[in-house]
A and B are shown apart, each in its own frame.
Chain A
């Protein structure tokens, strides 16, 4: 039935914290029974009319997941997650919309409010958006424009039906189903996400982006993104994330796989602003994400840029497997934690091909009672002659109740490799704050300015439109961190 819908702003905008995306949207939802078992996996697969091979793939992943344990090595603590108390599928009820005109106006309003207009006339020029709401993709814009260039940009559930040969070839080829506990869980129950294919020699004519929104209560979000850049192709992709403000923790366990063939380039940028919990550490998203890119072809390049300000817990290591000779991996990261947030994030650069190069620039900012860990692995395999890595990890502390930790691992099995690592830890100095304030800046503006300066090397890697947004986000996320 088509729901009578109204969007209701349930956020008390006057609450102490400034998370402005914390509202919920009232919309009729279809949810599967809570808990996880084979029947739920079958139900999700059936709901999406999936082919048998995919159901078998999911069931295999589910069987693997049951044997795996949550990883315990990260520098984070949280009460046990009750996987049986979660809902694994939630979607607006009714048949899936076939075009933007059929999308529930309440959803369009919600995205408008988040600053992501889905109406193509109002949309940010040059950016195509796939909007994922809880478990399903609700709209993808500019599909026709992209189709003219041969670019496929659609919900992954649709790609399974429309482009099975591509999905079957690449799904799970970068992050295998049994890769880790959360990746296995995702493989078993993923419900939607984005799919991108850029054909040979095509430079994607616009920025692609996916906007993830968790709305339903007690629901996990398990999206799966697969991006393939064929030979000589290039694409820039951005994801953004928000969630309502709730007292319970919510689980987000996504998988992102990137494949770059010969001479292909993928730039993947993330602005992660899931609800971080309140000042006492109540609520917030548990963000356990596996992101990995394979530079399969020679001279291919994968570049990850992330600005992580949200989530109660961030556990995430966007990595590059540099298989092709001359391939390039990059990781630019800003991770900001405040109040009781915990972040354990970094990257893995695995050099397999010859003359492969990687660059890691990580900026961690800790405030309040938070803990912020950089964890990185640079691995040079025996055949990776001439491999080079440069790593720079800088930590900035605000206040004296927070922690910054740097855990770099370097494994080199080729004597010709060059690996450099630089690390610094600093505090915002009192004289810097006083200098700014004596020029008329408030203490918070001064901190924002100094933090943005600290992150400049990473922020300049973001697409222009989002760099400004990210700067504001950093300042807002630090409100109340000084004084």
Chain B
């Protein structure tokens, strides 16, 4: 269960989030939509602990724990996962090595046994197969020379392996063609379970055709201005965000 209570944050002296309140019960997927500049990416970075974002008020409770004091890696160990809007390239770092290091870091933090190379490869190959991805994905350097679609799929692969309790998808649909979009959506849907919840941050409704959310929230000017069911996304698609800031 994720509970965001009256969360405010700024970058430098610019207030971006102005009291966001939201809760995502276990097993549910919530979408956050909103116009450009509403604070969608800031929300995802504040939730995952990126430096440079100053929290000026409110709290974020995940599974009963106040996570705002935790490092990004501790949040990952607690079960949170951020799928990046722009996945980062790591030259010279093999994807398999990166994934295994990450998985073992998380397993260690959770008190689980680390996986050796053989056990990891077995797991990774199974995950690739489920996501209709090629094995050579593991041999390449992390995101280096990947197309936009491949980068996003790599995010979904990482998510599938790390098995988070809460996934935050930051505009994962941007730059994806329809086939890649379906693969990404299937990856998220495959994780659906009573123990999994997700915040899907998106500008467009189209991703929500494939990942059907339990609730839709509209973020505008740093606040949640409306919440509703999946039909809200369709309404936004038809009428746009105009006028929502004052609602």
Q: Which residues of A contact B (CB under 8 A)?
A: 429-432, 434-443, 445, 449-450, 452-457
Smallest CB gap from A460: residue in B: B92
Interface of A is mostly: helix
* A455 to B105 alpha-carbon distance, docked (Å): 22
Say yes or no: A449-B105 contact (C-beta < 8 A), given A434-B50, A438-B76, A440-B162.
no
Count of chain B residues with Cβ under 8 Å from any Cβ of A? 32
Q: Which residues of B contact A (CB under 8 A)?
A: 48-52, 71-73, 75-77, 81-82, 84, 87-93, 97-98, 101-103, 105-106, 109, 141, 158, 162
Q: B75 to chain A: which residues have CB within 8 Å? A: 438
Smallest CB gap from B161: residue in A: A439
Is the CB–CB distance between B101 and A431 below 8 Å?
no
Smallest CB gap from B93: residue in A: A453
Is the CB–CB distance between B82 and A453 below 8 Å?
no
Is the CB–CB distance between B73 and A440 below 8 Å?
yes
* A300 to B71 alpha-carbon distance, docked (Å): 54
List 17 extra interface pairs beyond A442-B105, A455-B92, CB under 8 A: A434-B72, A435-B84, A437-B76, A438-B48, A438-B50, A438-B76, A438-B81, A438-B82, A439-B76, A439-B105, A439-B106, A440-B73, A440-B102, A449-B93, A449-B98, A453-B91, A456-B92
Q: B101 to chain A: which residues have CB within 8 Å? A: 441, 445, 449
Is the CB–CB distance between B90 and A450 below 8 Å?
yes
Q: A455 to chain B: which residues have CB within 8 Å? A: 92
* A442 to B101 alpha-carbon distance, docked (Å): 10
Q: Pick the contact of B109: A430, A436, A440, A450 (CB < 8 A).
A: A440
Is the CB–CB distance between A435 and B106 below 8 Å?
no
* A438 to B169 alpha-carbon distance, docked (Å): 13
CB distance from A124 to the nearest CB of B (A): 21
| Most B CB within 10 A of own CB, among A432, A436, A442 | A436
| Most B CB within 10 A of own CB, among A434, A435, A440, A453 | A440
Q: Pick the contact of A434: B51, B81, B103 (CB < 8 A).
A: B51
Is the CB–CB distance between A440 and B106 below 8 Å?
yes
A-B contact list, 28 entries, CB within 8 Å: A431-B88, A432-B88, A434-B50, A434-B51, A435-B87, A436-B90, A437-B49, A437-B71, A438-B48, A438-B50, A438-B73, A439-B98, A439-B102, A440-B77, A440-B106, A443-B71, A443-B73, A445-B101, A445-B105, A449-B97, A449-B98, A449-B101, A450-B93, A452-B92, A452-B93, A453-B92, A453-B93, A455-B92
* A445 to B90 alpha-carbon distance, docked (Å): 14
* A453 to B75 alpha-carbon distance, docked (Å): 25
CB distance from B144 to the nearest CB of A (A): 9
Say yes or no: A432-B90 contact (C-beta < 8 A), given A437-B76, A453-B141.
yes
CB distance from B68 to the nearest CB of A (A): 15
CB distance from B232 to the nearest CB of A (A): 29
* A450 to B90 alpha-carbon distance, docked (Å): 7
CB distance from A402 to the nearest CB of B (A): 20
Smallest CB gap from B88: residue in A: A435
Q: B52 to chain A: which residues have CB within 8 Å? A: 430
* A450 to B143 alpha-carbon distance, docked (Å): 13
CB distance from A472 to the nearest CB of B (A): 13
Smallest CB gap from B84: residue in A: A435
Q: B109 to chain A: which residues have CB within 8 Å? A: 440
CB distance from B93 to the nearest CB of A (A): 4
Q: B141 to chain A: which residues have CB within 8 Å? A: 453
CB distance from A13 to the nearest CB of B (A): 23
| Most B CB within 10 A of own CB, among A436, A439, A455 | A439
Q: A445 to chain B: which residues have CB within 8 Å? A: 101, 105
Q: A453 to chain B: which residues have CB within 8 Å? A: 90-93, 141
Smallest CB gap from A442: residue in B: B73
Q: A432 to chain B: which residues have CB within 8 Å? A: 88-90
CB distance from B145 to the nearest CB of A (A): 14
Smallest CB gap from A483: residue in B: B71
Q: Pick the contact of A437: B73, B91, B97, B158 (CB < 8 A).
A: B73
* A436 to B85 alpha-carbon distance, docked (Å): 15
Smallest CB gap from A450: residue in B: B90
* A439 to B161 alpha-carbon distance, docked (Å): 11
* A431 to B87 alpha-carbon distance, docked (Å): 9
* A453 to B91 alpha-carbon distance, docked (Å): 6
Q: A441 to chain B: which residues have CB within 8 Å? A: 73, 101-102, 105
Say yes or no: A430-B51 contact (C-beta < 8 A), given A437-B73, A438-B72, A442-B73.
yes
Smallest CB gap from A448: residue in B: B101
Say yes or no: A449-B90 contact (C-beta < 8 A), given A439-B158, A440-B106.
yes
CB distance from A460 to the nearest CB of B (A): 10
Q: B49 to chain A: which residues have CB within 8 Å? A: 437-438
Is the CB–CB distance between B76 and A440 below 8 Å?
yes
Say yes or no: A437-B72 contact (C-beta < 8 A), given A445-B101, A453-B141.
yes
Q: B91 to chain A: which residues have CB within 8 Å? A: 453-454
Smallest CB gap from B91: residue in A: A453
Smallest CB gap from B110: residue in A: A440
* A442 to B98 alpha-carbon distance, docked (Å): 13
* A443 to B73 alpha-carbon distance, docked (Å): 8
* A47 to B50 alpha-carbon distance, docked (Å): 65
Smallest CB gap from A455: residue in B: B92
CB distance from A406 to the nearest CB of B (A): 19
Smallest CB gap from B76: residue in A: A440
